[in-house]
Amino acid sequence: MTGSNGAGYERFLELWSEVNDLSRASAVLSWDQETQMPEKGSEARGRVQSTLAGVRHAKLTATELSDALASAAEGVEEGSVEAAQVREARRELDRISKIPESLARDLALAATRAHESWRRARAASDFSLFQPDLEHMVGLKREEARLLAGPDGRPFDALLDQFEPGVTEAELEPLFTELRGRLSSIVRAVTESGKAVDESPARGDFPMEAQRAFGHRVAREMGFDFEAGRLDLAPHPFCSGFAPTDVRITWRYLADDFRSALFGIMHEAGHGLYEQGLPLEWDGTPIGPATSLGIHESQSRLWENLVGRSQAFWSWCLPLFHEYFPGSRDVTVDRLWPALNTVKPSLIRVEADQGTYDLHIAVRFEVERALIGGEVEVRDLPELWDVTYEELLGIRSPDVADGVLQDIHWSFGGFGYFPTYTLGNLINAQLFVAAKDALGDLDAMFARGEFRPLLDWLRDNIHQHASRYPANELVERVTGRALSPDDFLAERARVAEEVYGVTV
């Protein structure tokens, strides 16, 4: 402990941890809603979530907490852990003080309702079933963004800041412009090459139970601790960490293509490893959680794409694959690997290949900015979605289920969330270069099924710091450079060359 006010600091952490427990309770209920809750439970669940959000809001805005924080802040040394605790707490309190409790409750209730109507609308492929709840949600989010941004700020920046502190639309715009340009050239070159990848090695008959067991095994080999975590089926894959000792990941599957389940599980287990690696001593404190969603995505995507889609990984994994799926015994690494690294425009973001994934994100970035900025309305979304897909990926969905209704995010008010996926891709590519510099021949390790050195490097360099450093600072500390798209684009070009023989 630094500074003169140890008792004030302790009291502040105690109060903070109570608030954190309410957030955890709410996260457990959300996990339950996705994996277990019967459909009719949604109205009652919405009330519980709204009550929890209200109580949390009241505790966060109570003078007792702000007084404790003021007292804790006295005498804190610059650059210390305590200073980081104060910084993160202030950020949260500043944010919450701008949101009236009634709005916090309305948002929680709206999210539960919109989530159910989104689910129904998607199943029926009927946007009108979701539209009224989404309109209500967008109204609340615009109001929230306006309050958070204040008279001089930009509303969309305020929403981005929730997920990626400090990142602005103005910073993202040139980044997405460059990515759109370079990725489109790769896609064009691949299309013009006329070469198609044979995806049949990834297809076949993959029983659900075997897919679950295979994914579970791979996650365990990666280092995911199943005594501190669970894997459950859900309509949408996600990871929810209630504590480093209790991390829930979910999965879904296609019966005729193993890629969806395996890479989904590797992705969520990558998130889960980060959650399990957060330091217990900071659990429940302001710097306890992950520092940003971009960093979170860098962890999931590193395991999913840079490990899971590499030749080296498959030279280790192939015997396991044969063991779990005896029907695929004739599959070899040479035949399979290209099918894991295709560049082919498709409709569904979460099933998209890594050559086109960030173009899906670019669509959402365009649409959300226009929506939150008030340039378009909810009723315009299906058409705007299709037009933007046509422009960036050259394809159009035949229905809204696989078009504008495909993502869960807007139903819970997660506007400004999508760009973090692309930031995660840029960060993971840069981190991976640094990890190779530090550890040497990672491919040789993967080929032996040794993932511990990489995990330990991530624990030391990323996980153990939790939110002590802001995301951009952390990237610079670890890689010695500011974040840039260079490593990511170089990796995309390399894969396109190896799989399709095109140079861009």
Question: Which residues make beta-bridge pairs with 254?
Answer: 257
- Do 92 and 12 contact (CB within 8 A), yes or no? no
CB of 35 to Zn ion, least distance (A): 17
Nearer to Zn ion, 26 or 300 (CB): 300
Q: Which is nearer to Zn ion, 300 or 428 (CB)?
A: 300
- CB of residue 247 to Zn ion, shortest distance in Å: 13
Work out how close the CB of 296 gets to Zn ion at its nearest, in angstroms, rounded to a whole number: 7
Task: Check if the beta carbon of residue 395 is closer than 8 Å to that of residue 389.
Answer: yes
With respect to Zn ion, which residue has the nearer C-beta, 300 or 472?
Answer: 300
Q: How far is the CB of 302 from Zn ion (least distance, A)?
A: 11
Write down the least CB distance from residue 292 to Zn ion, Å: 13
State which residue, 99 or 350, has the beta carbon closest to Zn ion.
350
Report the residue closest to Zn ion, judged by CB. 300
Catalytic residue among 34, 82, 144, 268: 268
Is 417:288 a contact under the CB 8 Å cutoff? Answer: no
The CA-atom distances, in angstroms, between 101 and each of 46, 106, 144, 392, 451 are 16, 9, 11, 40, 46
Least distance in angstroms from the C-beta of 124 to Zn ion? 27
Per CB under 5 A, residues contacting Zn ion are 300
Are 64 and 12 spatial neighbours (Cβ–Cβ below 8 Å)? no
Residue in 77, 28, 40, 81 with CA at minimum distance from that of residue 285? 81
Q: How far is the CB of 251 from Zn ion (least distance, A)?
A: 12
Which residue type sits at 168?
Answer: T
Q: Which is nearer to Zn ion, 144 or 268 (CB)?
A: 268
Residue listed under structure tokens 């402990």? 1
Is residue 44 classed exposed, middle or buried when 0-12, 13-18 and 19+ CB atoms within 10 A define those classes?
exposed
Q: Which residue has the tokens 């422009």?
A: 391
User: Which residue, among 474, 478, 477, 488, has the nearest Cα to 424 in the 3D structure?
Assistant: 488
Nearest residue (CB) to Zn ion, 300 versus 479: 300
Rounded least distance, CB 271 to Zn ion, Å: 6
Q: Which is nearer to Zn ion, 269 or 331 (CB)?
A: 269
368 has catalytic annotation: no
The helix (run of H) or strand (run of E) holding residue 249 is strand 246-251
Hunting for tokens 């859900």 — which residue is that?
234
The torsion region of residue 199 among left (phi > 0), alpha (psi -120 to 50) and beta comes to: alpha
The position carrying tokens 């009241």 is 58
Q: Is 275:248 a contact under the CB 8 Å cutoff? A: no
Residue 117 CB partners (closer than 8 Å, separation 6+): 129, 130, 132, 133, 134, 411
Q: Which residues contact 375 (CB under 8 A, 6 or more apart)?
A: none
Pairing of strands 246-251, 229-233: parallel
CA dist 224 and 240 (Å) reads: 14
* Residues involved in catalysis: 268
